[in-house]
């Protein structure tokens, strides 16, 4: 069995960008500061509604496969709040938490995260 996942930040007013290119949105892979800066520039005067999306794929030895997804919804804040070490967390304001992921504890973030939701679906449905 093989399991893989990918996730990204999707902004409605940007037709889903940065999406799967979230980690390299500004060109250089993993430059969080540049990625956030580019996103903020792209959002000037636009709606800031967004969501994180995660898809987990599982491929079984017999060739069958399944996909499981998870989403969490929010807004892109105009200022960076909280921990700035990981991706877009400091500018993703979670509707469910009432704060940015950067301000949330690990437990709070995991309770509503897109990855957590996708993994829960995988664990409910995986066949061994």
The residue from 6, 47, 85, 89 that is catalytic is 6
Q: 């903020």: which residue's tokens?
A: 40
Distance CA 17, CA 42 (A): 10
Q: Give DSSP secondary structure letters for 81-126.
A: -S--SSTTTTTEEETTTTEETTTS-HHHHHHH-HHHHHHHHHHHH-
Distance CA 103, CA 91 (A): 10
Distance CA 35, CA 13 (A): 17
Residue 47 is among the residues annotated as catalytic for this protein: no
CB 109 within 8 A of CB 96: no
Q: Which residues are catalytic?
A: 6
């Amino acid at each position: 069995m093989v399991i893989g996942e990918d996730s990204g930040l999707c902004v409605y007013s940007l037709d889903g960008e940065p999406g799967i290119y979230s980690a390299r949105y500004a060109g250089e892979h993993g430059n969080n500061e540049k990625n956030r800066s580019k996103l903020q520039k792209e959002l000037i005067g636009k709606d800031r509604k967004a969501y994180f999306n995660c898809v987990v794929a599982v491929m079984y030895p017999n060739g069958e496969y399944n996909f499981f997804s998870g989403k969490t919804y929010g807004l892109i804040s105009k200022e960076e709040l909280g921990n700035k070490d990981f991706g877009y967390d400091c500018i993703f304001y979670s509707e469910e938490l009432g704060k940015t992921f950067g301000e949330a504890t690990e437990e709070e973030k995991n309770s509503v995260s897109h990855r957590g939701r996708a993994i829960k679906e995988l664990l409910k449905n995986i066949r061994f």
